[in-house]
Amino acid sequence: MEARYNFKEIEPKWQRRWEAGDLYRVTEDPGKPKFYCLEMFPYPSGNLHMGHVRNYSIGDVVARIKRMRGYNVLHPMGWDAFGLPAENAAIHRGIPPAQWTWSNIANMRRQLHAMGISYDWEREVATCHPNYYRWTQWLFLQMYKHGLAYRKKAAVNWCPSCATVLANEQVVDGACERCHTPVMRKDLEQWFFRITAYADRLLEDLQQLPGWPDKVKIMQENWIGKSTGAEVIFTVAGSGQEIPVYTTRPDTLYGVTYMVLAPEHPLVEELTAGTPYADPVAEFVQAARYLSALDRTATDKEKEGLFTGAYAINPVNGERVPIWIANYVLMEYGTGAVMGVPAHDQRDFEFARKYNLPVKAVIRPADGELDGAAMTAAYVADGVMFNSGPFDGVPNQAGIRKVTAYLESIGKGKARINYRLRDWLISRQRYWGAPIPMIYCDRCGIVPVPEEDLPVLLPEGVEFRPTGESPLTYCPEFVQTTCPQCSGPARRETDTMDTFVCSSWYFLRYTSPHSQEQAFKRDKVDYWMNVDQYIGGVEHAILHLMYARFFTKALYDFGLVGVEEPFQNLLTQGMVLKEGSKMSKSKGNIVSPEEIIDRYGADTARLFILFAAPPERDLEWSDQGVEGCYRFLNRVWRLVASYAEAVRQAGGPLGIKDHADRELWCLLHATIKKVTADVEERFNFNTAISAIMELVNGCYRYQDSVPEQEQNLALMGEVLRKLVTILAPFAPHIAEELWQGLGGRASVHLEAWPQYDPAALAAEEVTLVVQINGKVRDRLQVPAGLEREKIEELVLKQDKMAALLAGQQVVKIIVVPDKLVNVVARRAS
């Protein structure tokens, strides 16, 4: 073995050999338990960043350990390759999106290879490849066939400068996340997936996911936003036209002092037509279009409104209340109309005070009074109904049911469940996405592209004009087609799909990535699904995970897959920080993975990433930390190199003969035990690595303290082989090289994960200090790691202790395992 750790040579060497030997290729093997380890696939932006390195290092350790533990491990990688940046590159720099994307993929694939991640590259997929998006289109058609894809006119967040539709999350403080232009609302005909049909199942089934972080489940729950209440029908004074409102508080119905419509409510124009209110109201409505839904409902946002001149009739008491419009009421939620109860809703309260609307209290504390005029904030707690006609004296929770039942009996309302979740808008007026496979025919209407005609290919050489329309619109070869039904002239849909559609099923495609006949093969999906461990950033906690869950449930209902949830366990990794803030281009605090790998090697980079913090926590970048990991690997190298030759010769039984031998032997097994528990039960890779470091220290202690001729080479050989084996998932290249140096023939990555020997652990003893009421009374030799109950039992059994405790009552026993026992006792009464 070379004396020097030469990562520059060994890393590429092993990457080539693993690849050539198909070390990480898998096929279905019914004889082995399977494990599907998946990291969120990256967008091919061009270069790996530290977030990727972290994500993939964590995933690789999990995959490698599972393999060593006898699982048949599927560990694939691919590219979430459609999306805006490619199109922007085309607009700004004239590079065709396909070319830009494929060259980025090539570069990132090379970088991933250089990290030595154990992917089955045979299964690589790219969502922008026709072999992939053909099936994305096919899945769209299945959604359409089952009534889950539909078209409607919808108000969207529109950035006039980017000329594109933005998701709510892409709107920050009312402005476009990318260019900071104020976002406006605009109506467009668009395609939707009916995810709301799955709202209840998406919510309920969260309970089937104990392996997901609670915070993610809570975010999903809030996003679905199930709310129970009632629909109450108000009528317009004069015309008698009905305006249903949605409320969670029918118990406050007697406290309504005004009504509010969303500015986009279809009645607004009608109510004001021909009145002096028409113009100012129209102006207000126009302005509201510039506010995103998020901003309009933010609690700290100033509430703005305007009287429409019309009045509504309260169905329970016939009272006339003014109808307003206000920015804080959204058309997309409930019915787009709200009954204003300023006494018991804080937003209504602020609105009423601002515009001098009356405040009428109808719920009072059980033992107190409440006067609407004197209130300084809404009273939102539970209480007793008053000022409420026949319901006076009813506790308000019961009142919710009673008022709802009463409304039902008079035909003025009904119980209703409402969800915050909206249908998924999947249309994008963009080129670089999967074309929506639909055709418009003047005679037949909307006609789906026949399945056998898929894929609808993206044309090349399109023109990019900043108009806000899909560039496909200007591509007559694409647009002009014939109707599959009547063979007459027809037009293709020019919208492409949201890239979240592509990423909602890629985990299924990995199970049969080359199939030309199907999106995925049922038997392969049945073998591999669910994903046993999914790993990725918490930024995908809501949308991607929700959409992937929705797809899986829909496909289950179509009879295409046998599981209802895609991801059994989820690990959300923390961020990589530098000087306390997230590494990002805009902050200029990026550390390039490529440079680190170049300078220290991939093993050091991986080891540092895993050592610096537990996976769920944020990780603070540290140059010294990297340096320290590099030094550690050098230390391992020198240790193994110094023994390699000698231990290759030494075989036979371990022949443990003295204290030093036993100590090393015990340390090895204690390390195996700890590392196994840390990685398997808790993903505590950082403490696992530090245990491995301790083992290396132990080996050096042995080397330094035992004279050379007396060193037990059979034992040292055993220790070093095991050391290298448990190091392998973390630092795979150096481990492989050292393994060969120690005489290993096959790859270390094919080794079984070592088992610890309980006999070795039992042999390790510790001295326990025994106290009574804090005074040291005894010392006991006990096996290390003895459980609390055993220690208590043992201590009380000692003759000496029994004598000292005679006539006393043991109140409690405090145990610090492996160190101390304190018996708290007092005179028996």
In angstroms, what is the minimal distance from the CB of 563 to ligand ANZ? 31
Among 345, 493, 678, 736, binds ligand ANZ (CB under 6 A): 345
Measured at the CA of 744, the angle between CA 738 and CA 749, to 5 degrees, comes to 75
Query: Could you say whether residue 179 binds Zn ion (CB under 5 A)?
Result: yes
Query: Could you say whether residue 334 binds ligand ANZ (CB under 6 A)?
Result: yes
Q: Which does 444 bind (CB under 5 to 8 A by kind): Zn ion, ligand ANZ, none?
A: Zn ion
In angstroms, what is the minimal distance from the CB of 331 to ligand ANZ? 7
Distances, alpha carbon 775 to alpha carbons 187, 779, 826, in Å: 80, 12, 14
206's tokens: 């969260």
Give which of 574, 499, 573 is closest to 536, Cα–Cα: 573
Residues from 272 through 331 that contact ligand ANZ (CB under 6 A): 328-330
In angstroms, what is the minimal distance from the CB of 164 to Zn ion? 7
Gap between the Cα atoms of 709 and 349, Å rounded: 88
Among 37, 149, 271, 341, binds ligand ANZ (CB under 6 A): 341
Strands 808-816 and 775-783: unpaired
Cis preceding-peptide flag for 530 (omega within 30 of 0): yes
Structure-token match 């392996």, residue found: 211
Q: Residue 537: which residues within 8 A CB-CB, separation 6 or more?
A: 40, 51, 55, 572, 573, 575
Residues from 442 through 471 that contact ligand ANZ (CB under 6 A): none
Query: Could you say whether residue 396 binds ligand ANZ (CB under 6 A)?
Result: no
Q: Residue 376: which residues within 8 A CB-CB, separation 6 or more?
A: none
Give 261 or 483: the residue with its C-beta nearer to Zn ion: 483
Residues from 199 through 238 that contact ligand ANZ (CB under 6 A): 227
Query: Could you say whether residue 530 binds ligand ANZ (CB under 6 A)?
Result: no
Give 296 or 492: the residue with its C-beta nearer to ligand ANZ: 296
In angstroms, what is the minimal distance from the CB of 370 to ligand ANZ? 13
Decide: 244 and 238 in contact? Cβ < 8 Å: no
In angstroms, what is the minimal distance from the CB of 152 to ligand ANZ? 18
Among 142, 297, 485, 642, binds Zn ion (CB under 5 A): 485
Query: Could you say whether residue 176 binds Zn ion (CB under 5 A)?
Result: yes
Give 39 or 345: the residue with its C-beta nearer to ligand ANZ: 345
Decide: 40 and 540 in contact? Cβ < 8 Å: yes
Residues from 403 through 432 that contact ligand ANZ (CB under 6 A): 418
Residues 174, 180, 186, 189, CA torsion sign:
negative
Counted residue by residue, the chain has a size of 829
Residue 425 φ/ψ, nearest 5 degrees = -80, 110
In angstroms, what is the minimal distance from the CB of 327 to ligand ANZ? 10
Give 432 or 630: the residue with its C-beta nearer to Zn ion: 432
Site stretch for Zn ion (CB under 5 A), options 125-133, 482-490, 524-532, 757-765: 482-490
Ramachandran region, residue 609 (left: φ > 0; alpha: ψ -120 to 50; beta: rest):
alpha
For residues 4 to 43, the per-residue mask of contacts with ligand ANZ, x marking binding by CB under 6 A and - elsewhere, is: ----------------------------------------
Three-state SS at 66: helix
Decide: 180 and 208 in contact? Cβ < 8 Å: no
Gap between the Cα atoms of 125 and 210, Å rounded: 30
Give 323 or 329: the residue with its C-beta nearer to ligand ANZ: 329
Among 443, 587, 657, 812, binds Zn ion (CB under 5 A): 443
Instruction: Give the number of other Cβ atoms within 10 Å of residue 760's Cβ.
Output: 18
793's tokens: 């039992």
Give which of 79, 167, 222 is closest to 542, Cα–Cα: 222
Among 97, 305, 322, 336, binds ligand ANZ (CB under 6 A): 336
Residues of this chain that bind ligand ANZ (CB under 6 A): 227, 246-249, 252, 262, 328-330, 333-334, 336, 338-339, 341, 344-345, 418
Residues of this chain that bind Zn ion (CB under 5 A): 159, 161-162, 176, 178-179, 181, 441, 443-444, 483, 485-486
